[in-house]
């Protein structure tokens, strides 16, 4: 037996409607379906399940969801126009033998850490 790829990631959110709008409309993830306070989005074949809860949601320390982006500077500019606040500008994280890794960090409405990443050739 061997595990392969991740099929779904659950993310607790305090307000399913607000989070659905942020992830689907602001970030542009494709909404697959909704069942009550569970919202399912497609991230290039991996499902992101936003799990609405009436409990207080605490952003998990040390956990970050990274989204690939092409032309990271352009994506940051477009998301800023939609009201997304970034912790800083896109910046170089590491120089690899065949590419540079660039990232920009931001948070969702519940404070979960998210990032854009681009592998620049």
Task: Using a pLDDT cut of 70, give the percent of the chain over it.
Answer: 100
Multiple choice CATH, 64-121, 3.10.180.10, 2.60.40.290, 3.40.47.10, 3.20.20.120: 3.10.180.10
Q: Which residues of 25-62 are buried (b: 16+ CB within 10 A; e: fewer)?
A: eebebeeeebeebebbbebeeeebbbebeeeebeeeee
CB 36 within 8 A of CB 54: no
Q: Kindly report, residue by residue over 38-96, the tens digit of the pLDDT.
A: 999 999 999 999 999 888 888 888 899 999 999 999 999 999 999 999 999 999 999 99
Provide the whole-model pTM. Answer: 0.92
Residue 119 neighbours by CB distance under 10 Å: 14
Q: What is the rounded average pLDDT of the residues 1-12? A: 91
Cβ burial 71-102 (10 Å sphere, 16+ → b, else e): ebeebbeebeeeebebeeebeeeeeeeeeeeb
Q: Mean pLDDT, the chain, as a whole number?
A: 95
Boundaries of CATH 3.10.180.10 in the chain? 1-55, 64-121
Alpha carbons 44 and 41: distance in angstroms, whole number:
9
- Enclosing H/E stretch for 55: none
Calculate the CA dihedral of residues 24, 63, 59, 27 and round it to 10 degrees: -20
Cα separation, 55 vs 13, whole angstroms:
9
- Is 1-55 CATH 3.40.50.1220? no
| pLDDT on residue 61 | 81
């Amino acid at each position: 037996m061997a595990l392969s790829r991740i099929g779904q990631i659950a993310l607790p959110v305090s307000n399913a409607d607000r989070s659905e709008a942020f992830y689907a409309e602001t970030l542009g993830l494709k909404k697959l379906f909704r069942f009550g306070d569970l919202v399912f989005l497609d991230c290039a074949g991996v499902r992101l399940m936003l799990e609405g809860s009436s409990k207080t949601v605490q952003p998990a320390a040390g956990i970050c969801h990274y989204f690939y982006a092409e032309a990271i500077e352009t994506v940051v500019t477009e998301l800023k126009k939609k009201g997304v606040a970034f912790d800083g500008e896109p910046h170089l994280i590491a120089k690899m033998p065949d590419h540079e890794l660039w990232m920009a960090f931001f948070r969702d409405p519940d404070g979960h850490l998210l990032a854009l990443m681009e592998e620049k050739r």
